[in-house]
Each structure stands twice: as structure tokens, then as C-alpha cells.
Amino acid sequence: MANSTQTHRIGVVLCRQHSIASLGLVMDTFRMANQLPGGGHRFALSRISQDGQAVAHPDGVLTVDGGPPLMREMDVVVIPSLWTQGAEAVADSPALVKALRTLPPRVLVAALCSGAYLLAASGRLNRRRATTHWLLADGLQSRYPQVEMDAEQNLTHDGPLICSGGSLAAVDACLYTVQLLAGRDTAKAVARLLVTDLERGPQSLYTPPSGWRRHGDREVRQLEAYISEQHHQALTLEQLAGQVHMSVRTLQRRFVAATGLTPIQYQQSVRIERGKALLEADHRSVEDIAAQVGYQDRVAFGRLFKKLTGMTPAAYRQRQRHAGHA
């Protein structure tokens, strides 16, 4: 007796701002799932544009299967990355935004990286957790303040809406979608074919430390250098203020204005970055590394490390060693 196959309909939204690499990752992941031997699940892909016509993309004309009404026939609608052109895509694609707004709740929507702009413009992300590329998160949050942005995460799932981080996190979102539709075993099998992990950890693993941004405050840059050199020491606000001959109150105001962090928070970020480097290259115990970067209490180091990276020091070390031997 022949095995029955369940077909899942996947609609991929296309406009001229979309990243070809992100689109390719989406198409390849679901096509790879169709290659699994003896698979009981098949993914039927349809490409959807603003007007149902081919998309005049800068990298070549992209053929499509239909326009926005086709979305309602899908089980999942996927929005690939828009690079840094999220706002432009929203302005160019009112029919896509409207279709996303009126989709029935049974249709799962996966917005990849800056694809979240189209979903946010529809209002569907209001008061829901979302993520996008860490570099774009502040801009999206400013434009759509009702979105509950969680840029530390590589993947969020709130109601029928999935969002993922940077462009290559398209694979994570697609594998997660495969898992929801076809089960974890199928998703793991696809991940093996793609030579990747099913779960790659939070986006915070790849995000530059908070507060390390460019600014023009000479005295604050001087303090940043001093804190970096003396990060392992117990620095006080009075000591830091004395370095640049200003009051503690002025120091705090200018430091936060320039970096977005207090001096103590900045020191913590420096310590954790140094700890990450030692965990990657050093075989000493976590307790010894904690002490070297300024924490006599291993538990305090571990708690802060997990808060800033999303992983414990031991898990981070294991992950980096696994990556080094991959």
C-alpha cells in the first residue's frame, strides 16, 4: 500500500527590494525537504508579487505564480529579507501589506530579517514579540513602536507570526516552520542535509556589545579606553570622573548620551567580551576566567554572561569548540 503524502502550501512574497540570497535560502530549504527519502510531507512553493506580475528585480526578472489573493490559499506565507530597504518595500507594496493585514489566523507568517517591516506595517506585529537583524532593530522599533522588539533572539514565535534575525537566519526560520508542519525528526533530517544545526542559539551571540557605538565625545572615548585597560579592577564612578576631570553627575549623563550605557554597564560588557575570548582560546576553568576578568564570584559572572549572550559560559565554550571542529 503506497504511503500517503501530506502537502503543505508555502507562499513566498516577492518584491524588488528582496535579497536574492534570502529568497534562495527559503526555496532551497523547502526543496531540500522534498528530497527526503520516504518523506510523508511535501512542500509546494508558490511565489507571490504585489500585482501578480513578474518582479523587475535589480538582479534579474523574477517570475511569480500569482498576486496577493493567493496568500489566503497558503498554509504558510514567507517574507524573505529586504536587506536595509524595509521602509522602501513598505512604500512600494501596499497590496502586499493589506493582504498580510487581512490574512486569516490559520495562515502562519514567517518574516525573515528585515522582512519584518512588511509584517509590522500591516499592524499584525502590534503588541507581539518580534525580532530582526540586530543592526536594524532600533530603526524598526522606532518606526513601529507597538512592536515588542527582542533583538537578542534569533527566532520569535508569537501567535501565527514567526520572525528571525539576520539574513542567514532564514534557514533557522524555515527549519522551524518545517518542524511545526512536519515534526522535529523531519526538520532535523533537513538540517543534516543543509549541514547546519536545527537550533543555533540566540542572535546575541553575533551582536556587538551594547554601547560600543561610534560617537564624538572625546572624554567618553578616553574613558572607554581606560575601562578596557582596567576592566578587571573594581572601578568607582568617582575614580572614572577624576580621569576626565568632571563631576560624577556629568560623567553619567555624558556617558549614557554617547554610548547608551552607564559606565558600570559598559565595564560589564567589556568583561564579558574578554570572558568570551578566554573561553574560546583558554582551557582554564570558568571560575579562573571569571576571576581574571574581575569576578571573584563565579555565579555572578555566569549570571551576567547568560544575560548578555543568552548562554552559560560552559555552553558557550562547548559551542565554540564544536564550531571549531565542524
Segment 183-206 shows an average pLDDT of 84
Q: What is the pLDDT of residues 41-54, one digit of tens each?
A: 999 999 999 999 99
Q: What is the pLDDT of residues 121-145, one digit of tens each?
A: 999 999 999 999 988 888 899 999 9
The full set of domains in the chain, from first to last, is: 6-205 (3.40.50.880), 218-324 (1.10.10.60)
Q: What is the mean pLDDT of the chain?
A: 91
Which residue, 6, 32, 39, is CA-closest to 185? 39
Q: Flag whether pLDDT at 208 surpasses 90.
A: no
Percentage of the chain beyond pLDDT 90 is 72
Its pTM stands at 0.72
d(CA 295, CA 26): 44
* 325 vs 51 pLDDT, higher one: 51
What is the rounded CA–CA span in Å between residue 4 and residue 161? Answer: 29
* Tens digits of residue pLDDT in 86-127: 999 999 999 999 999 999 999 999 999 999 999 999 999 999
Please give the Cα distance from 79 to 56 (Å, whole number).
17
pLDDT category of residue 2 using cuts at 50, 70 and 90: very low
pLDDT greater than 70 at residue 213: no
Q: Is 37 helix (H, G, I), strand (E, B) or coil?
A: coil
Backbone angles phi, psi at 236, to 5 degrees: -105, 160
Any residues with CB less than 8 A from the CB of 281 and at least 6 apart, and which?
Answer: none
pLDDT of 162: 97
pLDDT at 178 over 50: yes
Map grid coordinates 559606565 to a residue.
263
Note the pLDDT of residue 209: 64
pLDDT score of 205 more than 90: no
User: Given this model, what pLDDT does residue 1 score?
Assistant: 35
CA separation for the pair 142, 78 (Å, rounded): 24
Q: At 325, is the pLDDT very low, low, confident or very high (cuts 50, 70, 90)?
A: low
The pLDDT score that the predictor gives to residue 138 is 84
Using one digit for the tens of pLDDT, what is the confidence trace for 235-291? 999 999 999 999 999 999 999 888 888 999 899 989 998 999 899 887 899 999 999
Confirm if 48 and 70 have CB atoms less than 8 A apart.
yes
